[in-house]
Amino acid sequence: MLVLNATFEPINVCSVRRAVVLLLKAKAEMLEHGEYHLHSGSSTVPRPMVIRLVSYVRVPRDTHRRKITRRAVFARDDWTCQYCGSRGNLTVDHVIPRSKGGGSTWDNIVASCAPCNRRKGDSLPNQAGMVPKSTPRTPGPNVFIQVASPTIPRAWQQYLAF
Ligand SMILES: [Zn+2]
């Protein structure tokens, strides 16, 4: 289920069960629901698709910063090699190589195709003449929503500005 902040900004994806609990506790309101219903005890509720939290939640930046995964890097970089623009054979590249002190952080990792990754090797970007197309940075929540739910339901689309 897509969870929006009180400001309608997408925050994350949660399970149906969690969404129903938030709705029953009146901590969230239903914005979009599916066609079929869920039965819990004596009550019947439509299956939530998009919910919005009633009160504003401050989203800690750290929760996103920690989760560097290949999928999240690819999603942020639009599944495109940041050196040549190829969309095939993707891997991740340390812009400043680890051997030269580059860290495994959002601002130092980019999507790269395997040939570019090999060509760049252990060189610095200016030595190799290979500079990422866009400056890598920590992605916003949309990227993590995309990673958590590879198929974005139609009901979500109007709330996500990709
Ligand atoms: Zn490439």
CATH number of 61-128: 1.10.30.50
Cβ-based burial of 112 (10 A; exposed 0-12, middle 13-18, buried ≥19) = buried
Question: What Å distances lie between residue 24 and 21, 42, 77, 160, CA to CA?
Answer: 5, 13, 38, 25
**pLDDT value, residue 64:** 54
**Residues 102-151 pLDDT 10s:** 999 999 999 999 999 999 999 999 999 999 999 999 888 888 888 888 78
Distance 18 CA to ligand 1 centre (A): 41
Distance 118 CA to ligand 1 centre (A): 9
Contact in structure between 50 and 1 (CB atoms under 8 Å): yes
The whole-angstrom separation of Cα 19 and Cα 52 is 10
What residue spans define the domains of the chain?
Answer: 2-59, 61-128
Distance 108 CA to ligand 1 centre (A): 16
Most confidently modeled range among 6-10, 113-117, 151-155, 157-161 = 113-117
Distance 80 CA to ligand 1 centre (A): 8
Distance 82 CA to ligand 1 centre (A): 7
Amino acid present at 105: T
* 60 vs 1, residue with greater confidence: 1
**Residues 53-75 pLDDT 10s:** 999 988 766 555 557 899 999 99
Distance 104 CA to ligand 1 centre (A): 20
Is the confidence at residue 29, as pLDDT, over 90? yes
**pLDDT value, residue 66:** 58
